[in-house]
Amino acid sequence: MMLTTPSGTFPIPPEVAARLPPVPPVPSPDAPDYKALSKGFNEWLEESPTHLIDFERLRRWHLVQEELAAEATSNGVTYQVTTDGLD
């Protein structure tokens, strides 16, 4: 499993991946079946309040990881994906 950020692509350690909430991928507007995928994703979000919470946790985690990766890259340090931002 990989994390893609503007600073690069980084492997997600198994112990971090195990803590990530199970969220389906957000459909890409470039996908040929975007409307159907988007509808399915929105239905998944609306199925349960837990789904929305999980999506928001994953979104927040990704934002924190992007910031940490950018900082590490600008300092010339190898970036390692963490659970920062999940809780």
Q: What is the pLDDT of residues 7-59, one digit of tens each?
A: 999 999 999 999 999 999 999 999 999 999 999 999 999 999 999 999 999 99
Quick one: which of 15, 1, 5, 12 has its CA closest to 62? Answer: 5
Q: Where are the domains of the chain?
A: 2-74
Tokens of 75: 């300092």
pLDDT at res. 13: 98
pLDDT at res. 87: 85
pTM: 0.89
DSSP H/E element including 4: strand 2-5
Give Dmax over CA atoms of the chain in angstroms: 43
